[in-house]
């Protein structure tokens, strides 16, 4: 919580130790996820409405569900998976956060700011709780097999935390943005397989790439989103914001930090690109 006239940020920090203990339990803890949104968030919003404190809700690209309307626009319809698939509990809970916050905006005139984040990454981010980019980078630097789930053809867009923080500050200080939903992310799309190859190229690692079936990682019947690409026009039009760092910039910065911490393979800058082919080892 930031005191004064600033903002209370809704987060799930208390759940991180549990996620670290079992990375993929995130998709299994449906009761905890839904109760968190069904009990804690309403109390928080009621308190902020009472004391007239603006609220920043950090939502997620997960709320777009299985939509194939690429890029994802803030006002696009969402397509959720079946309720029998527990991984969609998180997306639905986050959507409920947004509905509740906007209800307070319209009914109690509470200033709310809702941001949907798309794969935020940064130099000190850990792979301990399942984040794909730091996981692959740490495996590459240690010379270990790099684990890619599914076919590796699923794609994501990774945005630097430095750019995201700049966007959040602009969002929270823009009076015209209250009561709006805004995507923050980059449109530099990459498949997870190509991400692994790029990390190998930038670090000079000889690690093999190992394909791990979804069923083995997440359990039977896991649903994944094939693509997650944000429409960032609103962020540019309302906030004057656009990301400034490329994926290569992000990987290199993360590798630099790990090299200083004593990783086995130091980052190699400006390595000539070769026709790298993965070792398709199915675990």
Q: What would the DSSP string read from start to end of 50-81? A: HHT--EEEEEEGGGGBT---SSBPTTS--B--
Q: In the chain, which stretches have pLDDT less than 70? A: 1-30, 32-39, 128-130, 263-283
How far apart CA 180 and CA 195 sit, in angstroms, is 32
Q: Which of 7, 51, 64, 90 is catalytic?
A: 90
Per-residue pLDDT tens for 222-260?
Answer: 778 899 999 999 999 999 999 999 999 999 999 999 888
Q: How far from chain centre, in Å, is Cα 182?
A: 14
Phi, psi of 219 (to 5 degrees): 100, 170
Q: What pLDDT, on a 0 to 100 scale, did the predictor assign at position 89?
A: 86
Q: What pLDDT, on a 0 to 100 scale, did the predictor assign at position 136?
A: 95
Yes or no: say if 196 and 251 are a contact pair by the CB < 8 Å rule: no
Q: What pLDDT, on a 0 to 100 scale, did the predictor assign at position 236?
A: 97
The CATH homologous superfamily to which domain 8-282 belongs is NAD(P)-binding Rossmann-like Domain (3.40.50.720)
Q: What pLDDT, on a 0 to 100 scale, did the predictor assign at position 183?
A: 98
How far apart CA 99 and CA 95 sit, in angstroms, is 6
Nearest to 130 by CA among 197, 64, 212, 191: 212
pTM of the predicted protein model: 0.82
Write down the domain spans for the chain. Answer: 8-282
Query: In whole angstroms, how large is the CA radius of gyration of the chain?
Result: 20
Q: Is 218 a catalytic residue?
A: no
Nearest to 262 by CA among 141, 134, 162, 100: 141
Q: Is 18 helix (H, G, I), strand (E, B) or coil?
A: helix
């Amino acid at each position: 919580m930031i005191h004064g006239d600033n903002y209370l940020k809704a987060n799930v920090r208390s759940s991180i130790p549990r996620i670290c203990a079992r990375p993929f339990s995130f998709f299994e803890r449906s009761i905890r996820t839904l109760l968190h949104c069904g009990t804690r968030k309403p109390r928080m919003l009621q308190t902020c409405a009472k004391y007239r404190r603006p609220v920043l809700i950090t939502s997620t690209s997960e709320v777009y569900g299985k939509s194939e309307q690429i890029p994802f626009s803030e006002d696009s319809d969402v397509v959720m998976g079946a309720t029998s698939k527990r991984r969609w509990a998180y997306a639905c809970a986050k959507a409920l956060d947004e509905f509740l916050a906007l209800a307070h905006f319209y009914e109690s005139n509470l200033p709310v700011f809702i941001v949907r984040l798309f794969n935020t990454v940064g130099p000190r981010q850990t792979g301990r709780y399942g984040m794909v980019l730091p996981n692959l980078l740490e495996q590459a630097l240690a010379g270990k097999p790099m684990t890619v789930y599914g076919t590796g053809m699923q794609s994501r867009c990774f945005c630097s935390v430095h750019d995201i923080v700049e966007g959040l500050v602009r969002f929270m200080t823009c009076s015209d943005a209250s009561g709006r939903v805004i995507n923050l992310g980059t449109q530099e799309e990459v498949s997870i397989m190509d991400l692994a190859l790029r990390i190998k190229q930038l670090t000079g690692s000889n690690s093999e790439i190992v394909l791990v079936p979804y069923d083995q990682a997440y359990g039977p019947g896991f649903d994944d989103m094939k693509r997650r690409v944000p429409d960032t026009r609103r962020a540019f039009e309302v906030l004057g914001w656009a990301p400034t760092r490329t994926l290569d910039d992000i990987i290199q910065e993360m590798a630099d930090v790990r090299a200083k911490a004593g990783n086995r393979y130091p980052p190699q800058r400006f390595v000539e690109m070769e026709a790298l082919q993965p070792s398709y080892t199915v675990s």
